A and B are shown apart, each in its own frame.
Chain A
Amino acid sequence: MRRWQRAREGGLRGLFFLCALVSIAVTMGIILVLFGESLPFFRHVPFTSFLFERSWAPRTGQEYGILPLVCGTFLIAVLALAVAIPIGLATAIYMSEYAAPVVRQVAKPVFEILAGVPTVVYGYFALTFITPYLLRPLLPSIEVFNALSAAIVVGIMIIPTISSLCDDALRAVPRSLREAGYAVSATKLEVCTRIVLPGAMSGVVAAVLLALARAVGETMVVAIAAGSTPKITANPLVSVQTMAAYIVQVCKGDAPAGTIEYQSIYAVGLTLFAITLAVNVVAQKVMARFREVYE
């Protein structure tokens, strides 16, 4: 190698390495910004009242308890999972155990489209279709903005996440296990539910956790369809507010920098980031275990 060639090789390698480090810089940036910018908020609001007070009204009431936002977030996330787990898992079982290759080929693009629809579109669908045409006839007392419509649509939105990851997990179960089941004259259902599904369980759990993280962080559907009233409730028929939706609501209203309301979005963002990060890390741990088992 000539000298200039060697220099070029080393220089490019260094450049590419710096690009790879950008991702670490982004993570550090997120942590730095969320901690640094929420400091002024926590100088004003004691940490304990942020975590334990039961009312959230930074603009009007000077009440800074995050619980209502966390409650709204998990109300919607849990209901969304209640929609998405049965449908997503059943779809994955059908795709991996029953469907003909042709069906898979047709179904895959459909799910890709479903996963690619922008979240504002889902929000629009929840507000202008699900609530008035589907829920109102069944539950006349439902509010215009309600947690249920948002949860149903978030659930639909995360079906592709669950079904494609579960499909991968089910297919990773070796064929020999299934055949051992058939050899003792188990029916297809018994092979599915007693051999394949338990064998893929860690993959299924990881899929559910990743979907949970997405549902917790989902913003636009909730901002459009679930309203903006932070409250601690388990009633899905009324308006609630989630953490992400609160951030959007404040930013939409152009709260001037320096006010406590503006500072509060960083504290809420920090909480949201911490929760989704924890769920994602656990999901990756579970996923890593499932890879070790069969590969």
Chain B
Amino acid sequence: MITLAGPSLVRPMGFRPRLARRRLVGRVFAILCLVAGLVAVLVLGALLWHICRQGAELLSVHFLTSYESTLEPLTSGIKAPLWGTIWLMALTTILTVPVGVAAAVYLEEYASQNRLTRFIHLNIANLAGVPSVVYGLLGLTVFVRWCAFGRSVLAGAAALALLVLPVVIIASREGLVAVPKSLREAAYAVGATRWQAIRHHVLPAALPGILTGVILALSRAIGEAAPLIVVGAVAYIRAVPSGLRAPFSAMPIKIFNWSELAAPEFVRLAGAAILVLLGVLLSMNAVAVGIRAWQQRHKTW
């Protein structure tokens, strides 16, 4: 039976809805949240503006292709650190991608859910959270001293490879997980072995995803300075690495060194070097985004 509710039932114990006020407070809150989100955009803008103002003028082909000058700092170039970074990235890719992808293939395609697998997962998640400077100490001890690589570009790349290994594994796993189970089952149905299914069907389908992840992992490695300093990258060198055992510099190391010197001309040089580094990073990101977009359009499953 329905009875008309009296006022005392609608507003028990002096409850006042005050809806207008509550909605107003809600609107203020929404605006505050939006402003907080804009802070990030604003900071990014200020960062780019500041760096461009400091460094844009110095950018030139000369800046990329000449060595550092101690007599006239403003005519310095970043040839040595730029090539150091290119060497590091190439070696890091060679060292980390095969191992990382293979580990991801094992974890996604072969491993059964047992205690060891869970331990490996947990371990990878923890490794991803280890500070980069600790990887530097690992590289300094294992590669520089025990393996006797010396303070070389190989030792630096090996330390970076260990640093990004968890990132590569996690990214590759995401690429593999995205491949539907039906693809594997179709391969098994026509008599493929597990490896044949992986080699001819799963990996090709997961490749764009893996590639994107690898690029993002490398874009993390390219900006790392701390482990390289610990391993023994040098800030000042007038030579391009001549081999695996050669001493080396790198872009982030040079930026750190110039920032520390703090005199106005070095701040400008650091700004210009940062612009080069950010340019490389943005193009790597653009490639990753491009691959993702291509995959969305050409997905056959």
The residue on A at minimum CB distance from B146 is: A33
| Contact with B40, one of A13, A114, A144, A284 (Cβ below 8 angstroms) | A114
B199 to A, closest residue via Cβ: A12
B137 near A265: Cβ-Cβ < 8 Å: yes
Q: Is the CB of B137 within 8 A of A276?
A: no
Least CB distance from A159 to B in Å reads: 6
A198 on the B face (CB < 8 A): no
CB-CB < 8 A to B137: which residues of A?
33-34, 37, 247, 265-266, 269
Q: 0/1 per residue, B27-41, Cβ < 8 Å to A?
A: 001101111110111
A6 CB to nearest chain B CB (Å): 9
- How many Å lie between the Cα of A123 and that of B126 in the bound state? 26
B-chain residues with CB within 8 Å of residue A117 when the two chains form the complex = 47, 223, 278, 281
B26 and A20 form a contact (CB under 8 A): no
CB-CB under 8 A from B142, the residues of chain A are 29, 33
Question: Once the chains bind, are A121 and B277 in contact (CB under 8 Å)?
Answer: yes
Asked if A273 contacts B136 (CB within 8 A), the reply is no
Q: Does B239 contact A (CB under 8 A)?
A: no
A119 close to B225 (CB less than 8 A): yes
Q: List, in ascending order, chain A residues with CB within 8 A of B30's CB.
A: 94, 98, 188-189
- Check B162 for interface membership: any CB of A closer than 8 A: yes
Could you tell me if B37 and A24 are in contact, using CB atoms closer than 8 angstroms? no
A241 interface contact, C-beta 8 A? no
Question: With contacts A27-B126, A118-B223 known, is A22 near B99, CB below 8 A?
Answer: yes
Determine whether A57 belongs to the interface, using a CB cutoff of 8 Å to chain B: no
Complex interface bits, B129-158 against A, C-beta within 8 A gives 1, otherwise 0: 111111111101110010000000000000
Answer yes or no: B230 CB below 8 A from chain A CBs: yes
Give A87-101 interface residues, CB cut-off 8 Å to B: 87, 90-91, 93-95, 98-99
Decide if A252 touches B229 in the complex (CB within 8 Å).
yes
CB distance from B186 to the nearest CB of A (A): 19
Q: Are A118 and B40 in contact (CB under 8 A)?
A: no
Q: Give bound CA distance, A117 to B280, whole Å.
A: 11
Contacts of B274 in A (CB 8 A): 120-121, 124
Tell me if B123 and A23 are in contact (CB < 8 A).
yes
Instruction: State how many angstroms separate the Cβ of A288 from the closest Cβ of chain B.
Output: 10
Residue of B nearest to A90 (CB): B36
1/0 per residue, CB under 8 A from B, across A44-67: the answer is 000000000000000000000000
Max chain A C-beta neighbours (<10 A), residue from B119, B130, B162: B130
A26 to chain B, nearest CB (A): 5
Which interface class (under 10, 10 to 19, 20 to 34, 35 or more) fits A? Answer: 35 or more
A118 touches B224 (CB 8 A): yes
Name A1-33 residues within 8 Å CB distance of B.
1, 5, 8-9, 12-13, 15-17, 19-24, 26-27, 29-30, 33
- What's the nearest-Cβ distance from chain B to residue A270, in Å? 9
Decide: B193 and A9 in contact? CB cutoff 8 A.
Answer: yes
Q: Which of A135-143, A175-183, A217-225, A229-237 contacts B (4 or more CB under 8 A)?
A: A217-225
**Chain A, residue nearest B106 (CB):** A16
- Choose from B41, B106, B124, B132 the contact partner of A217 (Cβ within 8 Å): B132
Asked if A219 and B132 sit within 8 Å, CB to CB, the answer is: yes
- Report the bound CA distance from A73 to B281 in whole Å: 29
- B222 pairs with A23, CB closer than 8 A: no
Q: Do the beta carbons of A29 and B32 come within 8 Å of each other?
A: no
Interface string of B219-233 (1 = CB under 8 A from A): 110111110011010
Whether B133 pairs with A244 at a CB distance below 8 angstroms is: yes
CA distance A15 to B99 in the complex (A): 10
Residue in A9, A124, A185, A189 whose beta carbon sits within 8 Å of that of B255 in the complex: A124
B36, A94: Cβ atoms closer than 8 Å: yes
Knowing A13-B110, A121-B274 are in contact, say whether A30-B255 is a contact too (CB < 8 A): no
Verify A19–B103 contact, CB threshold 8 A: yes
Closest B residue to A220 by CB, please name it: B225
Sample of 4 further A-B pairs with CB below 8 A, known A98-B33, A99-B37, A118-B281: A13-B106, A244-B226, A254-B232, A269-B134
29 contacts between A and B (CB under 8 A): A8-B195, A15-B102, A16-B106, A20-B102, A21-B120, A23-B103, A23-B127, A23-B165, A24-B123, A29-B138, A29-B142, A33-B141, A86-B36, A87-B40, A90-B33, A107-B41, A118-B281, A120-B274, A127-B262, A128-B50, A163-B37, A187-B25, A188-B30, A189-B30, A217-B134, A220-B226, A224-B260, A277-B129, A284-B125
